[in-house]
Amino acid sequence: MGLSTSVLAIDAGNSKTDVAVVAADGSVVGAARGGGFQPPRVGVEAAVDVLADAVGRAFAQAGVESAAHVSACLANADLPVEERELAAALRARGWSSTASVDVRNDTFAVLRAGLLEDAEPRGVAVVCGAGVNCAGMLPDGRTARFPAIGKISGDWGGGGGLAEEALWFAARAEDGRGEPTALMRTLPAHFGVPSMYALIEALHLERVPVERRHECTPVLFATAADGDPVARALVDRMADEVVAMSTVALRRLDLLDDEVPVLLGGGVLAARHPQLDARIAELLAERAPKAVPRVVSERPVLGAALLGLDAIGAPPEVHARVRAHFAP
């Protein structure tokens, strides 16, 4: 298999982890899926234990115990200090026979996966899943990124943020503090309760589990599609945030005047909501006219694998074989 040039690729999100073992010729010889990666909630070691389960199964399938290089794109690796801490934790597991480990935020996996097959790593990606994040990259290794750890770092939106906003507006509409919105009816109906008061009580007492709050986001988009002004305004604001992050990253990398991709990933953007897509395209045309938006359909673990192959200097045909394996 050529362990001297093999790559262990890890893409770990909040809800799931994908692992792939790539041989020297670009063949994917082992793969596994595991649980979500949430070090802020469970601690670094427990979070890495979740990765270890999937990595162990992928190595077993490949018939190896380690790889030469580990390329890990991880949710919650939002700051360089966190990337260093997580890289040390992964290195301690012995998954790299050469102790070669790169850890990046999972946004970089979407960016690298979404670049065209013959393209150099040059562009910007925005991921809108549970939260929202953005990263840009140049072939010389320079990057542009954001802390993306919530409101304290200036973030707004993502699936979780949109759910909270939808609940906020619906609660105020029902009790009279806010403007009318159909969300005061569509949100309780989705959860099978008669009113926002009943839904607030169910959420507060956890009769509706906390993890189900994300279900508010598709209800918000459906309500917006039916023409509700409050819901539509929230969708437009999400588009504004996506474009704001994109254009700032492009500016930092001196790419505003270049024809480069703006790659869109994560559950909210991958759902292809017409209003959101149209608003993003409209705003990008105004603020970064040469940017080319594209929703990424490729699996992010492909991006982690390609970043690993970049790191070891693998030839183009190896990259192409990996990309073909993960073709959507």
| Mean pLDDT, rounded, of the chain | 94
Confidence of residue 141 (pLDDT cuts 50, 70, 90): confident
Confidence of residue 117 (pLDDT cuts 50, 70, 90): low
pLDDT digits (tens, 9 = 90+) for 154-176: 999 999 999 999 999 999 999 99
Residue 144 pairs with which residues in a beta bridge?
Answer: 136
Distance of CA 219 to the CA centre of its chain: 21
pLDDT digits (tens, 9 = 90+) for 79-103: 999 999 999 999 999 999 999 999 9
pLDDT digits (tens, 9 = 90+) for 126-136: 999 889 999 99
Q: For residues 276 and 225, give the distance between their C-alpha atoms in angstroms, rounded to a whole number.
A: 10
Task: Report the 3 state secondary structure along 170-204.
Answer: HHHHHHCCCCCCCHHHHHHHHCCCCCHHHHHHHHH
Confidence of residue 14 (pLDDT cuts 50, 70, 90): confident
What pLDDT sits at residue 2? 41
Confidence of residue 121 (pLDDT cuts 50, 70, 90): confident
What pLDDT sits at residue 3? 44
What pLDDT sits at residue 1? 38
Percent of the chain beyond pLDDT 70? 97
Compute the residue count for the chain.
Answer: 328
**Beta-carbon-side half-sphere exposure of residue 56 (alpha carbons within 13 Å):** 7
Distance of CA 270 to the CA centre of its chain: 10
- Looking at the predicted structure, is the pLDDT value of residue 288 above 70? yes
- Looking at the predicted structure, is the pLDDT value of residue 321 above 90? yes
What pLDDT sits at residue 328? 74
What CA–CA distances, in Å, run from 309 to 43, 54, 109?
A: 29, 20, 13
pLDDT digits (tens, 9 = 90+) for 53-85: 999 999 999 999 999 999 999 999 999 999 999
Q: For residues 114 and 261, give the distance between their C-alpha atoms in angstroms, rounded to a whole number.
A: 9
- Looking at the predicted structure, is the pLDDT value of residue 31 above 60? yes
What pLDDT sits at residue 115? 85
What pLDDT sits at residue 142? 92
Q: For residues 50 and 16, give the distance between their C-alpha atoms in angstroms, rounded to a whole number.
A: 10
What is the distance in angstroms between the CA of the first residue and the CA of the last residue of the chain?
Answer: 26
Q: Say if residues 323 and 115 touch (Cβ distance below 8 Å).
A: no
- Looking at the predicted structure, is the pLDDT value of residue 247 above 70? yes
Tokens of 108: 């970089």
40-62 in b/e form (b: 16+ CB < 10 A) is eeeebeebbebbbebbbbbbeeb
What pLDDT sits at residue 118? 57
Tokens of 236: 């437009």
What pLDDT sits at residue 274? 97
Q: For residues 142 and 253, give the distance between their C-alpha atoms in angstroms, rounded to a whole number.
A: 8
The pLDDT of 107-114, averaged and rounded, is: 94
The pLDDT of 27-41, averaged and rounded, is: 94
Predicted TM-score of the model (pTM): 0.89
For the chain, where are the alpha helices, taking DSSP H only?
A: 39-42, 44-62, 80-92, 107-114, 158-175, 183-190, 196-204, 216-225, 229-252, 267-270, 274-287, 300-312, 316-325
What pLDDT sits at residue 5? 55
327 vs 47 pLDDT, higher one: 47
